[in-house]
Structure 1
Amino acid sequence: MLKKPTYKYQVLLGEISGGIVDGKALACRRKQWIDKIKLMVMMRDELNQFIKEYKTAEGQDLIKLAVYGVQVIGARINIYSMIWHGGGVYLFGLVDTCILPMNLESIYCLEQAFAVLQTLKSKCQLASSFIMEIERFVARKRRLTMTENAEIMKALETVQNKLSISEGG
């Protein structure tokens, strides 16, 4: 079962390109390409939102975060991954693909599809736990900064009190 962290980000995004008729995709190649571009933009936006929110985290830690995208074209499932490489550069690529069985002759594809989807599930759980670790790191850093600020304010008040006493005395 996936744990639900407090962040508002999606580790897995999807896009469906057309429907299915006789086991073949209805979407033309242009529509499939446009849907792939839309998926890339959604994945990039998720990464940007996360990086913007947790910019105080270490840069090398943010590079480890991967967002996954699923594009369904007819009975074919394409799984993509995108990571932030730094400086506005993103790496995007096809991770795996599988075909869902549409009839008894293609039932042998079921095991491969199951294995691909199980792997995707484990990768999403890993990304989710990584995001929670980053969230904890940033919260701890924020807490330490607040504690240091409180100590500095107390020291300033003490100095101001001593100065006001020495001026009055």
Structure 2
Amino acid sequence: MEAYTLIRSGRRTLALEITKDCRLLVRAPARCPKRTVEEFIQRSQPWIERNLARMRQRAAEAGPPPTPEEIEALRAQARAVLPGKVAHYAALMGLSPTGVKITSARKRYGSCSAKNSLCFSCFLMRSPDEAVDAVVVHELAHIRHKNHGPDFYALVQRYMPDYQARKKLLK
């Protein structure tokens, strides 16, 4: 059986989680017997093995985490590149963002606030130029459509017909 960390709380069900650093977490109700937890883990073994292998492969592909110097270099590159791209596509699309901010977010490449301020992760600079353009157009489209409905994607397609292909370059 795989080593795991048990977290007990007021929840009612058992749950498994594999963290980014490939550790197995088991969440359980406060009064759940240890035997029940171990039986649950035993029944879930195929899921655990499959997902642990996937997470280990992802971790190996990702390589070591970036150093603060590398992050700062990506930030500088983003500050140099992204405002120009935003200005270009904003003019093309007839949209006006209220600001452009660069962060070091790791879970998303971009966002658009309710006040139409665009936010981009410096890690976007690791992607090909075509993919960067796709993220810029995607976030600009959120100025007009605050959701991912058909009208939103119609707007994105109008200015970037190969959007889906470019989006695949991010992964």
Q: TM-score range with shorter-chain normalisation?
A: under 0.3
User: Given the two structures, how large is their TM-score scaled by the length of structure 1?
Assistant: 0.26
Larger radius of gyration: 1
Bigger proportion of residues as strand: 1
Structure possessing the higher relative contact order (Cα contacts under 8 Å, 6 or more residues apart): 1
